[in-house]
């Protein structure tokens, strides 16, 4: 079976190669924090990559397709691409959040992040920066599951909705997605900047 012929086969092959590399190239055995960070990064790239795809590619393309009266329209995207992309999008958001929380809990820094570095006598800069990223990510996760996905189900016809409900759902889903698009930029700054330094 050729792993290049399926998404599942490619994912399994990629994980096997990575695990073999970790087992044979790294000394010292099991590293739970490293595992949590690795899974957090993979899920985060999937989530934010799809967020950028929706905002920079799919939404503008669907608007262009709708205005092209002689063109093929956007039915192929809304019927085949969007539901699959939204499946990966919403579950990548969940995995990103939980692996991030797992990492912070096991590292003993969840409290500092939760309180934005204000939970102790001395201000904790790391807690402030990573906590800001964590809270932005939490808002974004809320938007995915409470605003974007329920409204996308109406738009895509997964649940019944009138034309008026679909129009309202389009607006809500678009605004929530654009808010996430905006918040992702400072969120990524905080996630990288907490341990690698802010660029300013």
- Whole-angstrom distance, CA of residue 118 vs CA of residue 111: 9
Judged on CB neighbours under 10 Å (0-12, 13-18, 19+), 165 is: middle
- pLDDT tens per residue across span 84-114: 999 999 999 999 999 999 999 999 999 999 9
* Number of neighbouring beta carbons within 10 Å of residue 65: 16
181-to-77, 162, 184 alpha-carbon distances in Å? 20, 28, 5
Tokens at 104, concatenated: 């912070």
- Whole-angstrom distance, CA of residue 196 vs CA of residue 191: 9
Using pLDDT thresholds of 50, 70 and 90, give the confidence band for residue 28: low
Using pLDDT thresholds of 50, 70 and 90, give the confidence band for residue 174: very high
Choice between 19 and 180, residue whose per-residue pLDDT is larger? 180
Predicted pLDDT at 158: 96
Using pLDDT thresholds of 50, 70 and 90, give the confidence band for residue 199: confident
Closest CA to 139 of 151, 150, 131: 131
* Long-range contact set of residues 170-175: C-beta below 8 Å, sequence gap at least 24: 172/147, 173/147, 173/148, 174/59
Tokens at 15, concatenated: 């994980």
List of residues 6+ apart from 143 with CB closer than 8 A: 176, 177, 179, 180
**DSSP 3-state of 152:** helix
- pLDDT tens per residue across span 114-126: 999 998 788 999 9
Average pLDDT over the chain, rounded to whole?
A: 94
Of the listed ranges 57-61, 74-78, 138-142, 162-166, the one predicted with least confidence: 74-78
Closest CA to 140 of 69, 60, 26, 51: 51
Domain range summary for the chain, segments of one domain joined by +: 1-30, 31-196
């Amino acid at each position: 079976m050729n792993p290049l012929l399926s998404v599942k086969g490619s994912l399994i092959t990629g994980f096997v190669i990575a695990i073999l590399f970790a087992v044979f190239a790294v000394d010292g055995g099991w590293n739970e924090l490293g595992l949590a960070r690795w899974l957090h990064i993979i899920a985060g790239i999937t989530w934010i990559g799809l967020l950028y795809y929706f905002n920079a590619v799919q939404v503008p393309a669907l608007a262009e397709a709708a205005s092209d009266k002689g063109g093929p329209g956007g039915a192929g995207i809304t019927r085949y691409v969007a539901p699959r992309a939204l499946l990966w999008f919403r579950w990548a958001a969940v995995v990103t959040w939980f692996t991030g929380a797992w990492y912070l809990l096991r590292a003993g820094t969840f409290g500092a992040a939760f309180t934005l570095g204000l939970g102790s006598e001395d201000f904790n800069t790391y807690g402030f920066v990573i906590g800001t990223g964590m809270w932005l990510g939490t808002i974004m996760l809320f938007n995915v599951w409470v605003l974007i996905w329920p409204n996308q189900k109406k738009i895509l016809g997964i649940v019944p909705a009138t034309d008026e409900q679909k129009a309202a759902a389009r607006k809500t889903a678009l605004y929530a997605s654009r808010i996430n698009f905006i918040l992702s930029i400072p969120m990524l700054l905080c996630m990288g900047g907490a341990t690698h330094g802010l660029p300013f």
